[in-house]
């Protein structure tokens, strides 16, 4: 059995220097086109820039910005999630039980994955789950893919290598997060109509250049619609973080 619990949306922004943003541009069609209900996307552009923002202390803060633009089409137009939608089926995670129908705690088995914020949740406040009171307990969970609707994977080419490798933010010490996120409801009239356009997804961090320097890199992106249908995966062109 799996237990769903109500939880606050973390958006995986555990490092205060990382922000997820977006911008959408919709195109209007005089005659409704016919698309499949499974969303389809195509790569348009990727850009890197540096902006100056204000930090929490009021001091100027330079932030690295990677923006990826994709075109999309969807037959029934059910694209987008509200930030307030955190109940099933858009909840953040499920809580599995072991064979003894008990919660699975971090470190209780050598077969468990290393700590990260996708496979574990820390219940800091007093919470009752499966008749157990949890306070500052770290419990194994199963992340719900439908909690986000846009997924971004980072690949880079280390010096001296001819191959690209994925930089896995989720399990990388010091990060334990990702740049997956949500874009808002795109169909403002009703869901059951074809929809196409372009979407620019903007990711900000003070650490992109420190992590990737001037290494060649590319992104892979896919989206989900509200029904959980997964689009194709697109790959950007190879680029470097040079402003």
| Residue for token pair 């990388």 | 172
Structure confidence by residue, pLDDT tens digits, 81-108 = 999 999 999 999 999 999 999 999 999 9
> Which range, of 17-26, 154-163, 199-208, 214-223, averages the lowest pLDDT?
17-26
**180: left (phi > 0), else alpha (psi -120 to 50), else beta?**
beta
Model confidence pTM above 0.85: no
Task: List, as one string, the DSSP characters of the chain.
Answer: -EEE------TT--STTEEEEEEEEE---SS-----SS-EEEEEEEEEEEEEEE-TTSSEEEEEEEEEEEEEEESS------TT--STTS-SEEEEB-TTS-B-BTTS-TTSPPS-TTTEEEE-S-EEETTEEESSEEEE-EE-GGG-SEEEEEEE--TT-SS-EEE-TTTSTTT---S-B------SS-SSS-EEEEEEEEEEES-HHHHHTT--EEEEEEEB-TT--B---EEPPPB----
- Give the pLDDT score at 203: 92
- Give the pLDDT score at 57: 65
Is pLDDT of 207 > 50?
A: yes
Please give the Cα distance from 53 to 62 (Å, whole number).
6
Structure confidence by residue, pLDDT tens digits, 148-200 = 999 999 999 999 999 999 998 887 776 767 899 999 988 876 667 888 999 99
- Give the pLDDT score at 6: 31
- Give the pLDDT score at 59: 73
- Give the pLDDT score at 7: 30
Which of 212, 102, 100, 210 has the alpha carbon at shortest distance from 164? 212
Average pLDDT over residues 123-136: 88
Give the pLDDT band of residue 32 (cuts 50, 70, 90).
low
Mean pLDDT over each residue of the chain, to the nearest integer: 84
Which of 52, 8, 33 has the alpha carbon at shortest distance from 206? 52
Cβ neighbourhood burial of 160 (10 Å; 0-12, 13-18, 19+):
exposed
- Give the pLDDT score at 43: 98
Q: What values do phi and psi take at 68, rounded to 5?
A: -120, 130
Average pLDDT over residues 24-37: 67
């Amino acid at each position: 059995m799996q237990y769903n619990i109500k939880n606050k949306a973390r958006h995986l922004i555990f490092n205060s220097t990382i922000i997820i943003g977006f911008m959408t541009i919709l195109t209007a069609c005089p005659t409704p086109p016919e698309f499949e209900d499974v969303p389809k996307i195509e790569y348009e552009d990727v850009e890197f820039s540096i902006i100056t923002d204000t930090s929490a202390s009021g001091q100027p803060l330079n932030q690295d910005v990677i923006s990826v633009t994709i075109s999309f089409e969807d037959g029934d137009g059910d694209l987008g999630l509200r930030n307030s939608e955190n109940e099933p089926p858009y909840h953040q995670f499920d809580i599995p039980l072991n064979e003894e129908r008990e919660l699975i705690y971090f470190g209780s088995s050598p077969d468990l994955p290393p700590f990260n914020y996708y496979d574990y949740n820390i219940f800091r406040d007093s919470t009752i789950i499966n008749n157990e009171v949890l306070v500052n307990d770290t419990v194994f969970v199963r992340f719900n893919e439908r909690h986000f609707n846009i997924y971004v994977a980072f690949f880079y080419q280390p010096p001296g290598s001819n191959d690209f490798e994925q930089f896995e933010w989720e399990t990388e010490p010091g990060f334990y997060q990702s740049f997956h996120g949500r874009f808002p409801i795109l169909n403002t009239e009703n869901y059951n109509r074809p929809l196409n356009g372009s979407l620019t997804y903007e990711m900000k961090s003070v650490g992109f250049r420190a992590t990737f320097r001037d290494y060649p890199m590319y992104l892979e992106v896919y989206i989900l619609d509200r029904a959980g249908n997964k689009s194709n995966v697109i790959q950007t062109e190879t680029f470097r973080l040079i402003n």
